[in-house]
């Protein structure tokens, strides 16, 4: 069992769920945060003094790009990049400098590492990291966390898809229009919709922490592939609501900006090959079971 884990971004949605899961197992968790407090250390402290001795380091830091209350401005884009690349680089440097390095360093990336495509199917062996804005950003994000070959710490990277949770992630915003009977497709609806239930997201992070066979990228995505239209139909059916409307692509681009709207108007068909081949058992492998659990 991991006795002590340091989590970067442990006060955010994803990191907070991982923190709670580890604490339920009896693990001491130290959160890396911008502000000091009980059970916390600050990023400035880490840059100045290094990391405390621990069994594992997890980095979940990253500005939520699907926070639609924030406009896509140059300042917001800078925050998106710095919160991912700079924070991951800080942790990788600190891990490499430790006299007794942790057993494992689990970093985060995005499913956007794989270029959008209607035809291709990707897994961890597929090439990516180029072709569009998010692929290039994900490549920089992953590169910032690379450890020197001389460091004994195992390094894993969870490539996260859209996390669906009842009280967090993208789901509350996505279901909101359906509650009022005005839900529908985004764009054509034919684009792939990569998703994972929050419990499986946590499970995959724990799997990466505890399973020595997980090295390098592991896709944080459910086994079932769905399009946006399939998601809409299943959500509407389970909520007993109509799906009559479509939000045109140009409206999304106008409201969210070209790069951010591409996350919703385009997509990737991605498989969690590493998770399944290393023994992870999905609790919610298909969209219907996921939505039913969220709506129960």
pLDDT (tens digit, 9 = 90+) per residue, 52-62? 999 999 999 88
Average pLDDT over residues 2-22: 94
Q: Can you spell out the DSSP letters for 203-253?
A: HHHHHHHH-TT--EEEEES-SS--BHHHHHHHHHHHHT--EEEEE-HHHHH
Looking at residue 35, what is its pLDDT?
78
CATH hierarchy code of domain 4-164+194-223+269-283: 3.40.50.720
CA distance to 83, 106, 134, 208, 291, per residue, from 148 (Å): 22, 15, 25, 20, 42
**CB count in 10 Å sphere of residue 75:** 10
54 Cβ partners below 8 Å, 6+ apart? 4, 5, 6, 30, 102
Average pLDDT over residues 205-211: 98
Average the pLDDT over each of 32-41, 217-226, 262-271 and give the range with the smallest value: 32-41
CA distance to 11, 18, 122, per residue, from 278 (Å): 29, 20, 18
Looking at residue 182, what is its pLDDT?
87
Q: Which residue has the tokens 């460091």?
A: 151
∠ CA 48-51-54, rounded to 5°:
170
Among the listed residues 65, 3, 61, the one whose alpha carbon sits nearest the alpha carbon of residue 31: 61
Predicted confidence (pLDDT) at residue 235 exceeds the cutoff of 80: yes
Among the listed residues 186, 193, 103, 94, the one whose alpha carbon sits nearest the alpha carbon of residue 144: 94
Looking at residue 195, what is its pLDDT?
96
Q: Considering the chain, what is the average pLDDT of its residues? A: 92
List the alpha helices (DSSP H) in the chain. 13-24, 43-49, 74-81, 87-97, 133-143, 171-179, 198-210, 228-239, 249-256, 258-265, 273-277, 287-295
* pLDDT bucket at 224, cuts 50 / 70 / 90: very high
Strand, helix or coil for residue 48? helix
Average pLDDT over residues 78-88: 92
Q: Which residue has the tokens 């450890």?
A: 147
* pLDDT bucket at 64, cuts 50 / 70 / 90: confident
* pLDDT bucket at 33, cuts 50 / 70 / 90: confident
Predicted confidence (pLDDT) at residue 88 exceeds the cutoff of 90: yes
Looking at residue 264, what is its pLDDT?
87
Selected residue with higher pLDDT from 39 and 208: 208
Q: Can you spell out the DSSP letters for 109-143?
A: EEGGGSPP-SS-EE-TTS--S-SSHHHHHHHHHHH
Average the pLDDT over each of 6-20, 105-119, 242-256 and give the range with the smallest value: 242-256
Residue ranges of the domains in the chain?
4-164+194-223+269-283
Predicted confidence (pLDDT) at residue 68 exceeds the cutoff of 80: no
CB 92 within 8 A of CB 147: yes
Packed helices 74-81 and 133-143: angle between N→C axes, nearest 10 degrees: 40
> What is the tens place of the pLDDT at every residue in 131-186?
889 999 999 999 999 987 778 999 999 999 999 999 888 899 889 989 888 888 99
Q: Which helix (H) or strand (E) holds 72?
A: none
Looking at residue 100, what is its pLDDT?
94
């Amino acid at each position: 069992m991991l006795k002590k884990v340091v989590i970067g971004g442990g006060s955010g949605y994803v990191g907070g769920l991982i923190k709670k899961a580890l604490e339920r197992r009896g693990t001491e968790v130290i959160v890396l945060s911008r502000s000091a407090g009980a059970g916390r250390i600050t990023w400035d402290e880490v840059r100045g003094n290094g990391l405390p001795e621990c069994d594992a380091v997890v980095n979940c830091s990253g500005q939520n790009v699907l926070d639609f209350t924030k406009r896509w401005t140059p300042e917001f884009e800078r925050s998106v990049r710095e919160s991912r690349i700079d924070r991951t680089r800080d942790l990788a440097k600190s891990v490499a400098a430790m006299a007794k390095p942790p057993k494992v360093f689990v970093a985060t990336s995005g499913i956007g590492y794989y270029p959008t495509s209607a035809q291709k199917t990707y897994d961890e062996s597929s090439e990516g990291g180029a072709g569009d804005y998010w692929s290039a950003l994900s490549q920089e994000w992953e590169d910032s966390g690379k450890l020197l070959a001389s460091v004994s710490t195992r390094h894993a990277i969870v490539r996260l898809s859209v996390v669906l949770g009842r009280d967090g992630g993208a789901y509350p915003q996505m279901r909101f229009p359906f509650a009022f009977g005005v839900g529908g497709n985004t764009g054509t609806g034919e684009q792939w919709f990569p998703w994972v239930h929050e419990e499986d997201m946590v499970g995959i992070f724990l799997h990466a922490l505890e399973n020595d066979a997980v090295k390098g990228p592991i896709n944080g995505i459910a086994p079932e592939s769905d399009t946006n239209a399939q998601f809409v139909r299943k959500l509407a059916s389970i909520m007993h609501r109509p799906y009559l409307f479509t939000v045109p692509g140009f409206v999304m681009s106008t409201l969210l900006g070209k790069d951010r709207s591409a996350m919703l108007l385009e997509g990737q068909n991605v498989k969690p090959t590493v998770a399944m081949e290393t023994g992870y058992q999905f609790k919610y492998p298909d969209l219907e079971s996921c939505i039913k659990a969220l709506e129960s």
